[in-house]
Structure 1
Amino acid sequence: MSENTKKLPLLPLRGLLVYPTMVLHLDVGRKKSVSGLEQAMVEDNLIFLLTQKEVSTEEPEAGDLYTIGTVAKVKQMLKLPNGTIRVLVEGLDRGRVKNLEDGDKFTSVEIESIQERQEATVEEQALMRSILEQFEQYTQISKKISQETFASVADIIEPGRLADIIASHLPLKVVQKQEILETLSLDERLKLMLRILSNEREVLGLEKKIGQRVKKSMERTQKEYYLREQMKAIQKELGDREGKEGEAEELREKIYEADMPEAIEEKAMKELKRYEKMPPNAAESSVIRNYIEWLTQVPWQEETEDLLDIHRSEDILNEDHYGLEKVKERVLEYLAVQQRTKRLKGPILCLSGPPGVGKTSLARSIARSLDRNFVRMSLGGVRDEAEIRGHRRTYVGAMPGRIIQGMKKAGTVNPVFLLDEIDKMANDFRGDPSSALLEVLDPEQNNTFSDHFIEEPYDLSKVLFVTTANDIAGIPPALRDRMEMIHIPGYTEVEKLEIAKGYLLPKQIREHGLTKNEMQVRDEALLSIIRYYTREAGVRNLERQLATICRKATKMLVSGEKKRVVLTDNNLETMLGKRQFRYGKAELENQIGAATGLAYTAAGGDTLTIEVALSPGEGKLTLTGKLGDVMKESAQAAFSYIRSKAEDLQIDADFNQKNDIHIHVPEGAVPKDGPSAGITMATALISALTNQPVRKEVGMTGEITLRGRVLPIGGLKEKAMSAHRAGLTHIIMPQENEKDLEDIPESVRKGLTFIPVSHLDEVLKHAIVRN
């Protein structure tokens, strides 16, 4: 074995490294390490210190240890009460492991000792100066290394020793310290040390900046906490136990509980901080508080779960309303798609029709069938745009618009929202509310609805909007385009009878404290009430008449006048007085110059007798009966057609020069208009001019052109009902309206014969009785 080769006991170190010339205390507890120390003390007090790669290894083997370590001298050894040994060691030289022998008592290593030169080259001296300059700056920032330590390091002239000593004073990881220990070239070791020092100085500078920032923040927080506590104490002394601080804390809790989107919550907290800084008597303080409360009260995430049972929903809709098949079908379609996709946007339905047909109550039934919350907003007479979008917070008494107010009332983000009487909105200098509704009712925009008061986007895409209107012509085209129109034309007599029996009468009997045994109304009495005491498309007046009957019946029962009231057609007038309305009836015999037309009114269908009288004159055409422009034009068209076809119709060619013609529609106080009286007027005119009667059992409807073509009309269902009620048996109608026959109730179709026609010649063939 050469002079540089030695065999020494091994002392493995965990998370620790000893450089040459370093003096350090070590605590040794492992049995083999203790035995190695004892062996060293027996021989020449030398031991080899080698660092483990992993701290957790209990019994390290050759692969678990680095190959370069430090030869150290044991200067002192002391046994501690807990069984471990505290030893003082001094590093001497670097050593490289050549062989490791793992004995039973201790591990010994054969090492090659590495000697270093003490003199520094010129380049190394320059590196040493740079290192000392960097180390000085480091000690000034760190404050953990004393000036005495720096002074002692500055006196070192050996390049290797300088690098080792400085490395021992830096908070480096074991891997970095081992890298320095394994760098045997003095030049390379100094360069490595310079890089490490520069990096550590930068890290320490950043640490210091961060520490100062954190300290300032902590000082500010502590100051705020101290001031708040002082304020609480002052308020308590003054008797104001809650005070503004209590209100602010309450608002903070509400903000956290509101489950707002992140951006909205940030806005609310920002406003709350402003609120806390303001004096309690500041005018803006109440404005901010009101704003925060609105943000916490509006639903942001809360929603009800739809009961997607299509059969249950159908039962509820049928239970609440009779008829209205198209609306019910549309709601059930929505439910079916929702059940499949789970993510359909709420449709915008517009229920249009006359008053009293059940538009509003139908919207409520839709909400019940979906098990959603229901909220209603009436738009009748709304002129101010701020009613929809809200006021800006700069105004005194500012509030959100009625859309946001409705959402707050609903409490969920997916209610059924009824916008009632949407056709009754107006506009003036305060803005156009119908234009403000465009964003609300546009499925592509309403997920970011902007209210001037809330100022943050609000999602309305899950709301099922239902709107109602009496006349869709009153809705601006742009707004109408965003809605799905469902027209409810009104109820027929048959439907009104079923509604009265199944819904209205039981309701009125219940509300007036009666029982079914005490109060009974026969079907013929109900039918007479519908025909002679009401004239409407809906059932509002019908319900009022039934309420009148129930009141009178209750009075009879309470006074003891009767024990049971049964209303029939015979005693109806004693309850409701004389009949208020009459309906046209079929003529008893064929008439010359009189034809029965069928009319569609807002209250349903009716028959209309058109009369023509001829008198000697100069061809003057007179129209009476409060006719509208369209009916006057129909009369003119019929007159012109007859003049052009006089020869074919066997009429004198100069009839218009010898006769004055008077066309009259009875009940002159009632305005009449519409395009469907053309063939009726033409038939009555031809009957008068040819002196041939019109069949009494025939009613007719259809528009006429100058060439005699018959054009389609609307309201065939209602017109057929009126014809059936009047006792007519045949209806002449445009051929293009055959598709509408399926809408007519089966009971009505059975009693009528429908004659589709496409030309006036066909009308005359079925309507005129030839002599």
Structure 2
Amino acid sequence: VKERILEYLAVQSRVKQMKGPILCLVGPPGVGKTSLGQSMARATNRKFVRISLGGVRDEAEIRGHRRTYIGSMPGRIVQNLSKAGARNPLIMLDEIDKMSMDFRGDPSSALLEVLDPEQNHTFNDHYLEVDLDLSEVMFVATANTLNIPGPLLDRMEVIRLPGYTEEEKLHIAERYLVPKQIKANGLKDDEIRISEGAVRDMVRYYTRESGVRNLERELAKICRKVVKDIALAGPVPLAGKRKNSKRTVHVGPKNLSKYLGVRRFDFGRAEKANEVGLVTGLAWTEVGGDLLQIEAALVPGKGQLTLTGKLGDVMQESAKAALSVVRARAQALGLDPDFHKHHDIHVHVPEGATPKDGPSAGIAMATALVSVLSKVPVRANVAMTGEITLRGRVLPIGGLKEKLLAALRGGIDTVLIPEENRKDLADLPRTLIQNLEIVPVRWFDQVLDVALERPLAPGAVPETETAVTVAPAVASEDEARPTQRH
């Protein structure tokens, strides 16, 4: 984002009149999209105007009402331009992915004219019935996901804001959140001390998020309780009017539970021991990455595949593809080729009430099936993500940084990613890569080499498909092909 603003300012210094850029900041809640918009307005010396589009379903909210209607008004664009008192403000279209439509029209279609640089110099509001020039306005939209109509998305320059690492959260808390909450709750700097260890424990055991919104709430709770304790304790004796006579409350890891209660989350792996049929996958959600446990069980039957855990259609098809891969390679893997004639297979993905979908758990499901059929445990410190084909090829996935952050939070040591995602490692923070062993894989046999506690059978894996651990810092685009990412 900083580079894009610098580019804009550099071009503006050479061109007398240029069209304002139209940006879309996409990221999970709490990563600072709205705050970033305010900072961009200050950096470009523009008035800041925020328009919340969450729940808007009337086209007239954008274009305005015809003057023949009772109570008609101009649209939000014109109203906010009037409030700003300038032709070139920065207008933030907040939560642009939360718009909907009904019988009154589609507001996303009305925004097409607003966000098109070739058309917005003659924007026509129904109430004013006069062409309005919006070409100098800088539009910045925010969204949690890219669930935006294609024509509207095509008019915006998408900039992704991933979640924060633990170290980034610590710096944000130290430099911004703690001073902000101390001031907001009427405390003085010498009345409270929150140690770095306490903030780190808050990040690990009391919040599980990509942003820092819940972290700020926990800091506010501590400050409120400290204010209450100081008020109940009464005034401090002056003791000869010494300057250090004030009480200072020290909050550290040892007394953190006094202010925040018992720990809400565990930091580290959910399972400590290697188990048969249990694989740790990686999932991406609107609020960041998360660990996804996949369980497989073998029961007497006639080859039926049972899937539970509220799985979507794509994930169910991914499980069926994983089973076909295992059946096709059963003999090479040292498994009974006729296992499906005497056993049913049950695949479960907890928690059962949470909807799940997407193809990126393909290799995890296939690994769980191989483990339960061979009785070889899967390493608990290994997590994996990747789509699988019937040939055993591992296809690329999306949301890599969020998934790796989830693995780091979960105490995972080794992460298997698709080979074609290797190029994405160049954009990741160095601390993230240094704390994880990232193994790019191209074939399913390479996954088994790393994930299983011991080899299945001598010579089971062809020599041409031997797993190779490649240094994650080197980005290579060999044999990369354009693929639809999920």
The TM-score normalised by the length of structure 2 is: 0.86
1:445 aligns with 2:119: yes
Percent identity for Structure 1 against Structure 2 = 62
* 2:162 alignment partner in structure 1: 489
Contact 1:641 1:706 in 2 (8 A): yes
Residue number among 214, 219, 223 corresponding to 1:546 in the alignment: 219
Alpha-carbon distance between aligned partners in 2 of 1:637 and 1:667, rounded to the nearest angstrom: 22
Residue number among 449, 459, 466 corresponding to 1:765 in the alignment: 449
SS at structure 1 position matched to 2:58? coil
SS at structure 2 position matched to 1:694? coil
Matched to 1:413, the amino acid is R
The TM-score normalised by the length of structure 1 is: 0.55
* 1:157 alignment partner in structure 2: none
* 1:645 alignment partner in structure 2: 329
Contact 1:584 1:608 in 2 (8 A): no
* 1:592 alignment partner in structure 2: 276
Structure 1 residues 676-697: Cα deviation after superposition (integer angstroms, max 9, x where no partner): 2111111121112112222233
* 1:182 alignment partner in structure 2: none
Matched to 1:537, the amino acid is S
Gaps of 5+ in 2: 235-245, 457-486
* 2:178 alignment partner in structure 1: 505
Alpha-carbon distance between aligned partners in 2 of 1:340 and 1:441, rounded to the nearest angstrom: 24
- Aligned residue pairs, count: 444
* 1:336 alignment partner in structure 2: 10
Give the C-alpha shift of residue 584 in structure 1: 5.7
Aligned-CA RMSD value: 2.1
Residue number among 249, 253, 257 corresponding to 1:569 in the alignment: 253
Alpha-carbon distance between aligned partners in 1 of 2:335 and 2:172, rounded to the nearest angstrom: 51
Alignment CA distance shift 1:392-1:669 (3 Å):
closer
Structure 1 residues 69-95: Cα deviation after superposition (integer angstroms, max 9, x where no partner): xxxxxxxxxxxxxxxxxxxxxxxxxxx
Give the C-alpha shift of residue 583 in structure 1: 5.3
Gaps of 5+ in 1: 1-326
Contact 2:274 2:377 in 1 (8 A): yes
Alignment CA distance shift 1:636-1:424 (3 Å):
same
Alpha-carbon distance between aligned partners in 1 of 2:159 and 2:397, rounded to the nearest angstrom: 19
More deviation in 436-445 or 575-584? 575-584
Contact 1:348 1:464 in 2 (8 A): yes
SS at structure 2 position matched to 1:452? coil
Alignment CA distance shift 1:520-1:343 (3 Å):
same
* 2:380 alignment partner in structure 1: 696
Which structure shows the bigger proportion of residues in helix conformation? 1
Give the C-alpha shift of residue 379 in structure 1: 2.0
Alignment CA distance shift 1:662-1:346 (3 Å):
same
SS at structure 2 position matched to 1:439? helix
Residue number among 422, 441, 451 corresponding to 1:738 in the alignment: 422
Structure 1 residues 315-352: Cα deviation after superposition (integer angstroms, max 9, x where no partner): xxxxxxxxxxxx22212211111122232210111122
Alpha-carbon distance between aligned partners in 2 of 1:392 and 1:604, rounded to the nearest angstrom: 43
Contact 1:586 1:697 in 2 (8 A): no
Contact 1:584 1:607 in 2 (8 A): no
Give the C-alpha shift of residue 634 in structure 1: 1.8
Aligned residue runs from structure 1 range 631-670, under 5 A:
631-670=315-354
Matched to 2:436, the amino acid is L
Matched to 1:548, the amino acid is K
Residue number among 419, 425, 438 corresponding to 2:99 in the alignment: 425
SS at structure 2 position matched to 1:592? coil
Contact 2:387 2:396 in 1 (8 A): yes
More deviation in 463-472 or 542-551? 463-472
State which structure, 1 or 2, has the greater radius of gyration over its C-alpha atoms.
Answer: 1
Structure 1 residues 653-688: Cα deviation after superposition (integer angstroms, max 9, x where no partner): 110111222222233333332222111111121112
Alignment CA distance shift 1:588-1:356 (3 Å):
closer
Give the C-alpha shift of residue 593 in structure 1: 2.0
* 2:77 alignment partner in structure 1: 403
Alpha-carbon distance between aligned partners in 1 of 2:358 and 2:171, rounded to the nearest angstrom: 30
Give the C-alpha shift of residue 586 in structure 1: 6.1
Aligned residue runs from structure 1 range 258-657, under 5 A:
327-473=1-147, 475-560=148-233, 563-582=247-266, 585=269, 587-657=271-341
Alpha-carbon distance between aligned partners in 1 of 2:249 and 2:352, rounded to the nearest angstrom: 40
SS at structure 2 position matched to 1:618? coil
SS at structure 1 position matched to 2:208? coil
Alignment CA distance shift 1:340-1:334 (3 Å):
same
Alpha-carbon distance between aligned partners in 2 of 1:519 and 1:539, rounded to the nearest angstrom: 21
Alpha-carbon distance between aligned partners in 1 of 2:315 and 2:180, rounded to the nearest angstrom: 43
Contact 1:583 1:606 in 2 (8 A): no
Alignment CA distance shift 1:504-1:368 (3 Å):
same
Alpha-carbon distance between aligned partners in 1 of 2:252 and 2:388, rounded to the nearest angstrom: 44
Alignment CA distance shift 1:699-1:472 (3 Å):
closer
Matched to 1:659, the amino acid is H
* 1:263 alignment partner in structure 2: none
Consecutive aligned runs of 4 or more in structure 1 exceeding 4 Å deviation: none
Alignment CA distance shift 1:384-1:627 (3 Å):
closer
Contact 1:390 1:402 in 2 (8 A): yes
Contact 1:535 1:603 in 2 (8 A): no
SS at structure 1 position matched to 2:189? coil
Structure 1 residues 217-252: Cα deviation after superposition (integer angstroms, max 9, x where no partner): xxxxxxxxxxxxxxxxxxxxxxxxxxxxxxxxxxxx
Structure 1 residues 183-235: Cα deviation after superposition (integer angstroms, max 9, x where no partner): xxxxxxxxxxxxxxxxxxxxxxxxxxxxxxxxxxxxxxxxxxxxxxxxxxxxx
Give the C-alpha shift of residue 748 in structure 1: 2.5
* Higher relative contact order, structure no. (Cα contacts within 8 Å, ≥ 6 residues apart): 2
Matched to 2:332, the amino acid is D
More deviation in 653-662 or 422-431? 422-431
Alignment CA distance shift 1:443-1:565 (3 Å):
same
SS at structure 1 position matched to 2:19? coil
Alignment CA distance shift 1:721-1:536 (3 Å):
closer
Give the C-alpha shift of residue 711 in structure 1: 0.5
Contact 2:28 2:288 in 1 (8 A): no
Alpha-carbon distance between aligned partners in 1 of 2:347 and 2:70, rounded to the nearest angstrom: 64
* 1:172 alignment partner in structure 2: none
Give the C-alpha shift of residue 520 in structure 1: 1.9
SS at structure 1 position matched to 2:367? helix
Alpha-carbon distance between aligned partners in 2 of 1:753 and 1:741, rounded to the nearest angstrom: 12
Matched to 2:346, the amino acid is H
Matched to 1:695, the amino acid is R
Give the C-alpha shift of residue 721 in structure 1: 2.2
